[in-house]
Amino acid sequence: MLSALIQNFDQLGNELLVAVGRGDEAEINRIDAQLQPLTCRIFEFEARDHSEVVAQIAFFNRLAMKNCEDDSSVRRYTTMMSNLFVRYLEPGGAHNSLSPKIKQPALIDGYDPSLHELVLDSIPERVAVFDLDYRYIYCNQRNAEFHNKRPSDFIGRHLLDMIDHKRFQSRAKPRMDQCFGGARISYNYEAADAHGRLFDIQCRMTPFTAPDKTIAGAVLVLNMQPIFAKTA
């Protein structure tokens, strides 16, 4: 069912491109009227297994990346992704049909490989989830590799254990505090990985909400582009 909804969305997207190319306003309006409710149906779909969870989160990540130049669209789709994280990963989430490993993950108490696989398969960028004390409650493989560590090395660790005090105080903490207050943040910076390779990084922060709708932390998604040294 989910795959059929996503295929329908992609088909309508292709039809929209054709209509835009023809300048057919009536057809554009007709397709637009179908896309929004279809997006809501995909978001509201209750995944029945691990592969559907992966496909659902990946769908909204793809939309966020596709519309990366439209801030309002990025905020909307990253919010949907954050809500899906809560639905499937947060203890006490609303979803009741998945396996116990997915339904009751140990986000705070310890590292659970099933969560690592789920988000890694869904998100091609670096991903980290922090609690309100700036401590990691999740880290995907790509983010761990950037620091030349394992995902399990991050769980429960303070962000200061991974970056220096100046960067934490001047760049990360003020923006995370805004995110903890409900803001959705996007900014760019340059940083080197553990091997000294320099990257241009776009960081998107989205509030991580608990089942009772209170903010429990922040979801960080980092997209990287390598910076190549200029040759004479």
Q: What CATH code is carried by the domain that includes residue 119?
A: 3.30.450.20
In a domain, residue 6? The reply is no
Residue 132 has pLDDT above 80, yes or no: yes
Name the pTM for this structure.
0.53
* Lowest pLDDT segment from 63-67, 90-94, 105-109, 217-221: 105-109
pLDDT category, 108, cuts 50, 70, 90? very low
In a domain, residue 151? The reply is yes
In a domain, residue 11? The reply is no
- Report the C-alpha gap between 125 and 117 in whole angstroms: 14
In a domain, residue 10? The reply is no
User: Could you count the other beta carbons within 10 Å of the beta carbon of residue 224?
Assistant: 17
Domain with 62 in it = 46-226
Give the distance from CA 75 to its chain's centroid: 11
- Per-residue pLDDT of 16-44, as tens digits, reads 999 999 999 899 999 989 998 999 999 99
- Report the C-alpha gap between 87 and 93 in whole angstroms: 5
Residue 83 pLDDT: 78
Residue 148's contacts (CB-CB under 8 Å, 6 or more residues apart) are: 193, 194, 195
- Per-residue pLDDT of 187-213, as tens digits, reads 999 989 988 899 999 999 999 887 667
Burial, 171: exposed, middle or buried (Cβ in 10 Å; 0-12, 13-18, 19+)? Answer: middle
- Per-residue pLDDT of 59-85, as tens digits, reads 887 887 777 667 677 778 877 877 787
Residue 121 has pLDDT above 90, yes or no: no
- Map residue 92 onto helix, strand or coil: coil
Q: What percent of the chain has pLDDT over 70?
A: 80
- Report the C-alpha gap between 37 and 230 in whole angstroms: 48
Q: Report the chain's terminal Cα–Cα distance, integer Å.
A: 56
Report the pLDDT averaged over residues 75-104.
59
Number of domains the chain contains = 1
Long-range CB pairs of 204-208 (<8 Å, 24+ gap) are: 204/64, 204/74, 204/78, 205/175, 205/176, 205/178, 205/179, 206/75, 206/78, 206/79, 206/81, 206/82, 206/179, 207/82, 207/179, 207/180, 207/182, 207/183, 208/82, 208/85, 208/86, 208/129, 208/130
| Residue 158 near residue 134 (C-beta atoms within 8 A) | yes
Buried b / exposed e along 109-136 (16+ C-beta atoms within 10 A): eebbeebbebbbbbbebbbbbbbeebbb
pLDDT category, 105, cuts 50, 70, 90? very low
Residue 88 has pLDDT above 80, yes or no: no
In a domain, residue 156? The reply is yes
Report the pLDDT averaged over residues 101-119.
45
Residue whose C-alpha is closest to residue 149's, from 140, 222, 200: 140
pLDDT category, 168, cuts 50, 70, 90? very high
Residue whose C-alpha is closest to residue 117's, from 109, 127, 108: 127
Tokens of 138: 């999740």
In a domain, residue 20? The reply is no
* Lowest pLDDT segment from 4-18, 98-112, 145-159, 215-229: 98-112
In a domain, residue 63? The reply is yes
Report the pLDDT averaged over residues 158-171.
92
In a domain, residue 160? The reply is yes
